[in-house]
Amino acid sequence: MELGYNLTLKQEQKLKMTPELRQAIELLQFTSLELDEYLEDQIEKNPLLEMEELKDNQENVEEQSKENEEIDWEEVIENYDDISYKPQNEKDEKEYTYENFVSYSPSLKEHLLVQIKLIFTDEKDIEIGEILVDYVDENGYFKGEMGEIGQEFNLEEEDIENVLNRIQTLDPVGVGARDLKECLIIQLKEKKIKKPSIYKVIENHLEDIAKNRLQNI
């Protein structure tokens, strides 16, 4: 058996029994009568203490009690219960918390736009890329028509196709494909898989795979 020394950092909380704490504990156990007697005894022993200070404290307590009586505690309880209490913020006030920042995740379009501005250097390509991203649905498929986009934005179809081909190589690879077949082929090329039989299956037998018609393949 091997013996060794380890240096560890351990945080502990301990309650230290000071003379002041002992005295406070003793005072808390007094009844009202015992407390009055104790105070009178201390005033007699210590000439620097005056009863007037005690009266001031009592007046402050009485004032505080009156203020508490003016509070509509029934209304407070209705607004805040012990189980489901949450601070009520103003509607227009934005709450910035650690959880909000951690839990936030960009949408697919936001993710693509960031990559487009990093990958493309030509301003025209960036502009085309931003246009094409608007035609990508929530599943990542491109739903636009090249001819219609070219006419609407006065762009050449060849330029649109070139930019779309580059978008399809962004993360996630295959995004912007027109259908599942094109998406899978893009991913195969990205992985540098060149086996012809795999491409044949994707090109001709995706429906057979979906319906488990393996004999046809």
Q: What pLDDT is recorded for position 111?
A: 93
State the amino acid at position 86 in one-letter form.
K
Buried b (16+ CB within 10 A) or exposed e, 28-64: eeeeeeeeeeeeeeeeeeeeeeeeeeeeeeeeeeeee
Chunk the chain into consecutive blocks of 10 residues (it has 217) and report each block's average pLDDT, rounded to whole numbers: 45 59 73 80 76 55 58 55 47 54 76 94 95 94 95 95 95 94 93 92 89 86
Closest CA to 131 of 103, 112, 118, 158: 112
pLDDT in the model for residue 75:
62
- Model pLDDT, residue 122: 94
pLDDT of residue 162: 96
Q: What is the pLDDT of residue 98?
A: 53
CA distance 72 to 2: 68
Query: What are the structural domain ranges in the chain?
Result: 106-178, 179-217
pLDDT at 32: 79
pLDDT at 217: 85
Instruction: Note the pLDDT of residue 210.
Output: 86
* Dihedral angle sign, alpha carbons of residues 124, 126, 129, 131: negative
Q: What angle do CA 163, 164, 169 make, to 5 degrees?
A: 100
- CATH architecture of the domain covering 106-178: Orthogonal Bundle (1.10)
Which pLDDT belongs to residue 97?
Answer: 58
pTM: predicted TM-score of the whole model, two decimal places: 0.52
The pLDDT assigned to 4 comes to: 43
> What per-residue confidence (pLDDT) applies to 130?
96
Question: Helix (H, G, I), strand (E, B), or coil: what is residue 101?
Answer: helix
Please report the pLDDT score of residue 5 as a whole number.
43
pLDDT at 95: 57
Contact partners, residue 104, CB within 8 Å, separation at least 6: none
State the pLDDT at residue 94.
Answer: 54
